[in-house]
Structure 1
């Protein structure tokens, strides 16, 4: 009986991933050289997932928009999603700004900017030069469709997918066979992801072993106050803000977190939300969100709704200023917030992208030196885990909000799935029951 129970739990993905994370921490701490060499395990898992992202995003967006009743519906969903994204990002920035000013994690470090060696951040500052507002807007349009898919550039892929879906929708019913074929292709890609997920515990093990082995647990103590601030702020944002949003939608945040526990642990181990995007697409549909809404909102949210990244960027910017004894007035900090509303976009769930966005933010200001990024190099990976998990949860909640707002969330299915926390076997392609009780169009 006991063996059977243990075997049942060990067969669950989240338990396997949790074991991988714990084993990675132990190996990285006890055998740091070995842990440092295990980085390819985490990288390989990310590559296996990333190879399927471009076709999955393309097919999800195209099938979602093409199957909407009309193009006005697609536009309405897009506007609602962007409106929610901006409100959520602004709240995340404000909370981060408040906490970092109250706790002041950088105060007392007394870092002299003249004695900082910025050679170690050269790659980030170079990448930040292509992270301006105009560059960001220009990067949305790909130089070639093939190039965008080959490089896995999410924004250009989404842009092309939306245009292609609109073109199919305008052609009318005769495109139905092509849309059905893309739908079948999408299901095949999800099957590939299910196979890849078998190695998720190994990926989490390798990623965590490398992080601890390279930077050491001692790094956590050195920057413990900053990490405490970020994890505290992220927790407050998730529990208070997203919890209130979920209650407004008539669902339980805790049950939703339990529902996506596999994805949360994988994100924690790999520090990348890319690793779980395909699985999240499936789970959000099974939760009762209509496929068109999921196909539009979730991939777009990976770029435009980085709540955790927004919190991190605010706190990191003010932390560097505090560490260097640079006084920022309230107007300076409001300027930081306005800049971050732009630079926090486009991270696309990639580990380390938030660091580039931070470099871009500092480069637009003349008060805080970009060289201050060196202070965060050792601890950035640990901070990245918090922001990645927050981004993941935030995008899941955003999908629920837009679906509920649009009347495209089957509340009966959602409550049944969250209450039982099991695969209901419901065909996610079946349109959900319309619900107009949340917001009216």
Structure 2
């Protein structure tokens, strides 16, 4: 059937097969994990070249630096406001739903070992503002592309773009080389994306096989609460933000449905980044806006991680019978405001940031991390999906504010996608 030729349908089918396989043969399903890990590694390999080519090509054509400055200020203000709202939504939802009340997790096995494992596996450490700023500067130009972080790549790309803008002419050979490099990078990406059903199958099968059954049922109330918080944030907060810029959140979700399914299947928002770059440019966003807003968003606008951390801290407080005063709650939110920044939303990244927050404040028992350790992959589906949606909305909204958006191109793309999804209507005569 023609419908199975579409990549997002193949990914969705692979996810469903993985769930069935994980429930029927959990031991064998866990062994599929390398398929998911390998696919995510392939996508992460492409992030640096894609960001560099996109940002340098876009910034290199800019002659009005004041325009880029306005774009940067509006983008960062947007990120901070929306990510703060995400934390408040998560905290309020858990406070009202009380999913951890009555769990009495202090009677369970101590999760300190799990927390230690998370800290060792992650990149926790000094989360001071000074350390965060200094981490943006790579040791060398080349090390920016080997560290695995987006911000150093973005920093080097911006410097290169500014330099190219200052010394080049519109017909300079460097621009043609960049365009050819972009074509090669996205062709490689196309090869890799053909493997996405296999990657989604491996990641989901390992998750269901390893963490399904008893653990998920035991913590089902919290899982439902967290998913509820993400839906509130997407349809209420992002819906209002999109509406203020003249967009419908439902139309945006329809536009990026393939990237949403991909993030859901792999549990990592990074894998959707390369496709979002192409999709948003095709949907009418200027190359400069996409090249700046989207990479920055994957470090400063990780809405899903903010929700995860706020919900997780509230749940641990309830589950371990550790009440928090208003001052302690405000202190935790302030710490999360800092620790949520950085990183590209990779699998398990939100759990690492949550662990870092607990470690730096000592307000809640570290053993509480053990409660989330087993279901992190299940929660990660909503986290990664929210990250992708949040950054797509940010790019569209800020582009519209700055006049770097073509509405006719956006509407035409949605209409074309609607017609391709219903070919029988497109072919039928109108009476």
TM-score, scaled relative to structure 1: 0.91
The answer to whether the aligner puts 1:88 opposite 2:88 as a matched pair is no
Of 326, 330, 348, which aligns to 2:326? 330
**CA displacement, residues 112-170 of structure 1 (integer Å, 9 cap, x when unaligned):** 28951422332322432244433322211111222221233211111111112112222
CA distance in 2, matches of 1:271, 1:217: 19
The answer to whether the aligner puts 1:116 opposite 2:110 as a matched pair is yes
Structure 2: unaligned runs, 5 residues or longer: 421-431
CA distance in 2, matches of 1:67, 1:369: 52
Of 186, 189, 196, which aligns to 2:192? 196
Change (3 A) 1:306 1:157: same
1:186 alignment counterpart: 182
CA distance in 2, matches of 1:131, 1:202: 36
Shift of 1:108: 0.8
CA distance in 2, matches of 1:211, 1:63: 39
CA distance in 2, matches of 1:343, 1:217: 32
- Equivalenced residue count is 418
Aligned residues of 2:305 and 2:345 also touching (Cα < 8 A): no
1:405 alignment counterpart: 401
CA distance in 2, matches of 1:205, 1:169: 44
Change (3 A) 1:260 1:41: same
Of residues 58-67 and 134-143 in structure 1, the stretch that sits farther from structure 2 once superposed is: 134-143
Change (3 A) 1:117 1:396: closer
Aligned residues of 1:131 and 1:357 also touching (Cα < 8 A): no
The answer to whether the aligner puts 1:63 opposite 2:57 as a matched pair is yes
Shift of 1:329: 1.6
**CA displacement, residues 185-228 of structure 1 (integer Å, 9 cap, x when unaligned):** 11221111112111111111110000011111332211111111
CA distance in 1, matches of 2:142, 2:367: 37
Of residues 108-117 and 202-211 in structure 1, the stretch that sits farther from structure 2 once superposed is: 108-117
CA distance in 1, matches of 2:16, 2:319: 32
Of residues 46-55 and 174-183 in structure 1, the stretch that sits farther from structure 2 once superposed is: 174-183
**CA displacement, residues 160-181 of structure 1 (integer Å, 9 cap, x when unaligned):** 1111211222224278321331
CA RMSD of aligned residues (A): 1.8
1:343 alignment counterpart: 339
CA distance in 2, matches of 1:200, 1:268: 12
1:367 alignment counterpart: 363
CA distance in 2, matches of 1:123, 1:72: 46
Aligned residues of 1:89 and 1:310 also touching (Cα < 8 A): yes
2:268 alignment counterpart: 272
CA distance in 2, matches of 1:160, 1:366: 37
CA distance in 1, matches of 2:392, 2:111: 40
Aligned residues of 1:132 and 1:360 also touching (Cα < 8 A): no
2:217 alignment counterpart: 221
1:256 alignment counterpart: 252
The answer to whether the aligner puts 1:101 opposite 2:91 as a matched pair is no
Change (3 A) 1:175 1:130: farther
Matches within 5 A, 1:370-409: 370-409=366-405
Aligned residues of 1:58 and 1:157 also touching (Cα < 8 A): yes
Of 406, 412, 427, which aligns to 1:416? 412
Of residues 128-137 and 315-324 in structure 1, the stretch that sits farther from structure 2 once superposed is: 128-137
Of 25, 37, 42, which aligns to 2:36? 42
CA distance in 2, matches of 1:8, 1:29: 29
The answer to whether the aligner puts 1:207 opposite 2:182 as a matched pair is no
1:428 alignment counterpart: none
Of residues 61-70 and 316-325 in structure 1, the stretch that sits farther from structure 2 once superposed is: 61-70
Structure 1: unaligned runs, 5 residues or longer: 1-6, 425-441
Shift of 1:335: 1.7
Shift of 1:396: 0.2
The answer to whether the aligner puts 1:164 opposite 2:135 as a matched pair is no
CA distance in 1, matches of 2:241, 2:190: 30
Of 7, 20, 26, which aligns to 1:32? 26
Aligned residues of 2:399 and 2:405 also touching (Cα < 8 A): yes
Aligned residues of 1:168 and 1:175 also touching (Cα < 8 A): no
1:292 alignment counterpart: 288
